[in-house]
Structure 1
Amino acid sequence: MLSLPALYMAEIEIKFATRQSSHQLLEECVVPFVEKTGARLEKLPAQSLQNDYYDTPEQLFHEHKIGFRVRQNGDQIEQTVKTQGNVDAGLHARGEYNVSLSKPVPDLTLFPREIWPQDWNIVDINTQLSRQFSTHFKREGYLVFWQNSQIEMVVDKGEAATEKISAEINEIELELKTGRVEDLFALAALVNQHAEVRLSDVSKAARGYQLLHGWQLHVKPLPAVLPLHHNISTEAAFAEAVKCALAHWQHHEHLFIETGSVKMLQEVGTSVRLLLQSVSLYLPVLQCPQMLALHKQLMDYAQQWSWLDDLQSLRYLLSKKSLFARFLSKHPALVSYLQGRKAGLLHAHEPAHGFYATESTAIKLGAAQLLELKPWQSHAQGFDVPVMEHAKGWLSQGWQTLQQSMPKNRNMQEANYAAIEMLLRQTLWNGFLLADMFPEEHGQFRAPWLDIVKGIDELKALLILQNAISDTELASPTEAREWVASKITSLVQVMERTRQIAVQGDLYWQNLNLNND
């Protein structure tokens, strides 16, 4: 705590989103099991919180990822600034500054000057403030005396609203008041075991801004390669990989939950595979029981999402921008069949339900806990050496295995490409995770191999189309089959030419002098 006009609090919390009433979920599904552990629960006074969020016309706070609100709880009025901080897999750690007010009118000049960006004129900004949106909710909960820690466990039920639109708020939040972060994770795991929850990295302020600006249904692409500096340690490089995968996962999962946009599901599948490959790659060095457990969970979980490959193929076939659009426009029965298969996949697998499943949340909690507690430090050696000492060997091993599976002088057919797909993707993921430490030539090396992966995706779509022709009554099925067969032949020929270029590329990790920092 600082002796300043504003009270500063370092906030560490885990936030869950729920699909049903958070109050009912807490009382019926969580509290009884927390009490069974021997933890002591102290009921907190219920609060009705009225929150108005302010910003400038240029959205200055939003641009700097700062949340600023005025909160009223009965006769108590308080203004709060929350700094950007860090959110890793749902573990929120950020600065919070609170100042009491006599009336619900914001006054930025009451906060310490040092909390703001240096170039901000606070007096001028204060005159520009206007209310952007509100979050009004009822808060109930308990102070939990868990192991050697005190954790505030509360539920928020209400809504976020602009002048034109609103969205429901149903959340369970766990905030560490005193004690150990591992106790916070232990309580979070218990909540996940007994309630249908989804780990959330989206604050109430962020939801308000999403309502204000409208949903941006664009896929947020991964970088070309994971940004890393040359001397980064092995454990730090692993942390960057996990953070990247989880951020991508949670961003697109959230957009799917809020909008139902099916294209977000493929990005979730990509994130799960990236997270799995990150754990697989670093497991030999960071080996510990927790890493092994997470690896097994991810292996099982990735298998549960394997149906996304068929969904991606169907979406590609049905896209008006695909290479098949003109052909399919002549065969409405095929289009109807493919649309039915797509709808059937979504109905059978219920992805929204899957995101609230225990396994999904357990993986995110497990990954966040790994990054926070670093359990490998008491089980393994070499975690603090530069990852560059491992990178060349890891990349060479993957490349050699790939060469053995698709020799340069071998003519590959569609079945051969299907057989090496997983190995090729794993090798390219390893490159994504490590290539940034090497010269820029990695882009030239990776480009043709990435084109081959795109070719495999097109090939899988064509094979689904080929099977669909057999399952559909067409006026001229022979002509349709011949068209698909010719496309498969042409595609494989292009992939073969691309492969001949790809295998001639210089191995970008081979010529780097490790003594040059």
Structure 2
Amino acid sequence: MEREIELKLLVSANAGEILNSYLESNFPHRYTASEANLYNQYFDTPDKQLRRMDIGLRVRGKDNQFEQTLKTQGSVVGGLHSRPEYNVPLDDDKVNLPLFPDSAWPDDANVERLQSEVQPLFTTHFKRISFEVSCSNDSQVEVVFDSGLVEANGHKEPICEVELELKQGSVADLCDFARGLAEVLPFRLGSRSKAARGYALAAQSYVEPNNELIVLPLTAKDSNEQAFINALTFGFDYWQQHQSAYCDSNKIRYLGCMYRGMRLTLQALVLFMPNIECPEVLKLHQKLTELVDEWSWVEGLSRIKQFRSKKGLFRKLIDKSPAFLSYLQGRSEGLLIQNAPIKNITDKNYSQACLDIVQLLSEKPWRKHNDSWEHSIADTAKSRLTQSWHNIVQIMPYKKSMTAEQYVACEVVLRQTQFNGLFLAGLYNSPERDQFRSHWIDLLSGIEELNTLSFLFDEVAGAYQSEEKEESRAEFESLQGWCQDKIQHLLAVMEQSRKHVVKIEPYW
């Protein structure tokens, strides 16, 4: 059995030339190159028994030589893939499952039955340019550029990716190599394997990324470290899955969820900082803070999409003003052109921040600096949730009335508190917890609506300033009046709700 550890990078078609030039300049006389055309046939039973066991079965052909590979359950963190695999040479391109060792299979697998039922499912054909690179710190990295097609049932998808496989050394060495590559080669981390893409293509199904924010499972036996890893992994996976969905579709809703994932990832660092503080964490915190700030324009774009949506609450009203609808379309297009999300997702600083997260989760550098990471999460959770609660009580005093502007200013703190609850509330699985959280989530939803109405009011004001036609200006004035009425009505409801919610006893 072998265990692959590799980074998958999604690149453009000219990556092969860039790779060759980069290696010539930075690793002269320390790499060898080769090319091959690879034919790969993937197999499963009609009822997808292998897929359900999280097993991938492949026969690869190269220069009239054949090899079958069984890949078993592994892990993916961002673009870092780690998965055990078994490789067996074959005389031809026919699957021969009994040749795999018994240890490769789950205990309840019926290999003879599987052998009789497996059939071709999809293929991946690609040209592979390979580089075996010896790095200065005695690490070795295999760099491959694959370009070709995934094919299933007459449907095709392009393959254009670089894989960096660690042959010798540490994950830190692998990430360092990728950081250097990011200086010259735009890329984004890829979490889906060729096999995963093939299965989806064969089924003609697109798996929507899950946008639900769930309370993460947690027990009192878990350490601060385990709780932190769970939180950071959840946030980063959420970010990367929606990033991939956006790059595949250009749908703004995925971009909004991608940005939420960035904020989740940052809040995981902030929440657990006292327990895992070290130079690497502090550096990553600064990078993510800057990244979240740079991408904050996405919130405005998401609100404009909400206004323009034919199924949205605002569209019926906005339809009465064609001039404003046209203005919103221009604003949306302008934000996308100005901020160029696809380009910035492959920007070197963005890619390097993602690599820092991958390395942090793998290397766990905080272990060298203190022992707080070993302590039980139970005491930590109670103190952090209490601190979050005190912060809310301070900015939302029970005996004082609040304006719409004051509510909007509270959104960031309430959002951070919501995320903290996702990461820690798993310790307190009770109806009281769910009731407490639901009331505050409702209040946060109200603040989001206030923020959206305020944003709409400001957008109408901007359109009014640039409009010369009196008829359109009158429409804009009417929209502003409607916004003000809605804000005042919502504010009255929220004031009542807040004074009820702040009296509810915290569940912890």
Q: What TM bracket, shorter-length normalisation?
A: over 0.9
Counterparts of 1:241 and 1:438, CA distance in 2: 16
| C-alpha spacing 1:481/1:114, structure 2 compared with 1 (3 Å) | same
Letter in 2 for 1:505: I
Counterparts of 2:26 and 2:505, CA distance in 1: 58
**Are 2:26 and 1:55 aligned?**
no
Q: Are the equivalent residues in 2 in contact too, given 1:288–1:376 (CA < 8 A)?
A: yes
Q: Are the equivalent residues in 2 in contact too, given 1:232–1:386 (CA < 8 A)?
A: yes
TM superposition shift of 1:85: 0.4
Partner of 1:290, secondary structure, is helix
TM superposition shift of 1:219: 4.3
Counterparts of 2:394 and 2:485, CA distance in 1: 29
**Are 2:419 and 1:429 aligned?**
yes
Match of 1:194 in 2: 184
Q: Match for 2:27 among 22, 35, 47?
A: 35
Q: Are the equivalent residues in 1 in contact too, given 2:324–2:476 (CA < 8 A)?
A: no
Counterparts of 2:476 and 2:327, CA distance in 1: 14
Structure 2 unmatched runs, 5+: 465-471
Letter in 2 for 1:20: A
Match of 1:375 in 2: 365
**Are 2:274 and 1:274 aligned?**
no
TM superposition shift of 1:169: 1.5
Structure 1 unmatched runs, 5+: 1-7, 510-517
TM superposition shift of 1:69: 1.1
Task: State how many pairs are aligned.
Answer: 498
Partner of 2:162, secondary structure, is strand
Q: What percent of counterpart residues are identical?
A: 35
| C-alpha spacing 1:194/1:114, structure 2 compared with 1 (3 Å) | same
Q: CA RMSD in A?
A: 1.8
Counterparts of 1:349 and 1:62, CA distance in 2: 40
Q: Are the equivalent residues in 2 in contact too, given 1:51–1:134 (CA < 8 A)?
A: yes
**Are 2:176 and 1:208 aligned?**
no
Report runs of 4+ in structure 1 exceeding 6 Å deviation: none
Q: Match for 2:118 among 122, 129, 144?
A: 129
Counterparts of 2:197 and 2:319, CA distance in 1: 40
TM superposition shift of 1:258: 1.6
Partner of 1:109, secondary structure, is helix
| C-alpha spacing 1:321/1:502, structure 2 compared with 1 (3 Å) | farther
Q: In the TM superposition, what whole-angstrom CA distance separates every residue of 1:277-326 from its partner, at most 9, and x where no partner exists?
A: 11111112211110010000001000111011101211222223322232
Match of 2:458 in 1: 467
Match of 1:95 in 2: 84
**Are 2:449 and 1:458 aligned?**
yes
Match of 1:448 in 2: 439
Counterparts of 2:367 and 2:381, CA distance in 1: 20
Partner of 2:9, secondary structure, is strand
Q: Are the equivalent residues in 1 in contact too, given 2:59–2:93 (CA < 8 A)?
A: yes
Counterparts of 2:380 and 2:230, CA distance in 1: 16
Counterparts of 2:50 and 2:68, CA distance in 1: 14
| C-alpha spacing 1:396/1:33, structure 2 compared with 1 (3 Å) | farther
Q: Match for 2:400 among 401, 407, 410?
A: 410
Q: In the TM superposition, what whole-angstrom CA distance separates every residue of 1:83-137 from its partner, at most 9, and x where no partner exists?
A: 1201112221110111111111222222223323333322222222222221111
Q: Are the equivalent residues in 1 in contact too, given 2:209–2:241 (CA < 8 A)?
A: no
Partner of 1:284, secondary structure, is helix
Match of 2:488 in 1: 489
TM superposition shift of 1:464: 2.6
Counterparts of 2:213 and 2:409, CA distance in 1: 27
Match of 1:18 in 2: 11
Q: What TM-score, normalized by structure 1, do the two folds share?
A: 0.92
Letter in 2 for 1:112: P
Letter in 1 for 2:264: L
Q: Match for 1:438 among 428, 439, 443?
A: 428
Counterparts of 2:315 and 2:107, CA distance in 1: 54
Range with greater deviation from structure 2 (115-124 or 303-312): 115-124
Letter in 2 for 1:103: D
Q: In the TM superposition, what whole-angstrom CA distance separates every residue of 1:28-75 from its partner, at most 9, and x where no partner exists?
A: 2x3145327xxx523143211111111222223333332211110011
Counterparts of 1:217 and 1:153, CA distance in 2: 29
Q: In the TM superposition, what whole-angstrom CA distance separates every residue of 1:192-237 from its partner, at most 9, and x where no partner exists?
A: 2231111111111112223223453634124421222221111111
TM superposition shift of 1:182: 2.3
Range with greater deviation from structure 2 (155-164 or 401-410): 155-164
Q: Are the equivalent residues in 1 in contact too, given 2:65–2:92 (CA < 8 A)?
A: no
Q: Are the equivalent residues in 1 in contact too, given 2:40–2:123 (CA < 8 A)?
A: yes
Range with greater deviation from structure 2 (59-68 or 132-141): 59-68
**Are 2:332 and 1:339 aligned?**
no
Counterparts of 1:495 and 1:232, CA distance in 2: 38
**Are 2:359 and 1:360 aligned?**
no
Letter in 1 for 2:441: L
Range with greater deviation from structure 2 (463-472 or 351-360): 463-472
Partner of 1:273, secondary structure, is helix
Match of 1:72 in 2: 61
Match of 2:251 in 1: 261
Counterparts of 1:320 and 1:219, CA distance in 2: 23
Counterparts of 1:32 and 1:292, CA distance in 2: 35
Counterparts of 2:499 and 2:47, CA distance in 1: 52
| C-alpha spacing 1:127/1:421, structure 2 compared with 1 (3 Å) | same
TM superposition shift of 1:474: 4.4
Match of 1:513 in 2: none
Match of 1:311 in 2: 301
| C-alpha spacing 1:235/1:331, structure 2 compared with 1 (3 Å) | same
Q: Match for 1:398 among 382, 388, 393?
A: 388
Q: In the TM superposition, what whole-angstrom CA distance separates every residue of 1:413-465 from its partner, at most 9, and x where no partner exists?
A: 21001111111111221111111012323221111211122222222222232
Counterparts of 1:261 and 1:478, CA distance in 2: 31
Match of 1:112 in 2: 101
Range with greater deviation from structure 2 (8-17 or 489-498): 489-498
Letter in 2 for 1:116: W
TM superposition shift of 1:246: 1.4
Counterparts of 2:425 and 2:258, CA distance in 1: 23
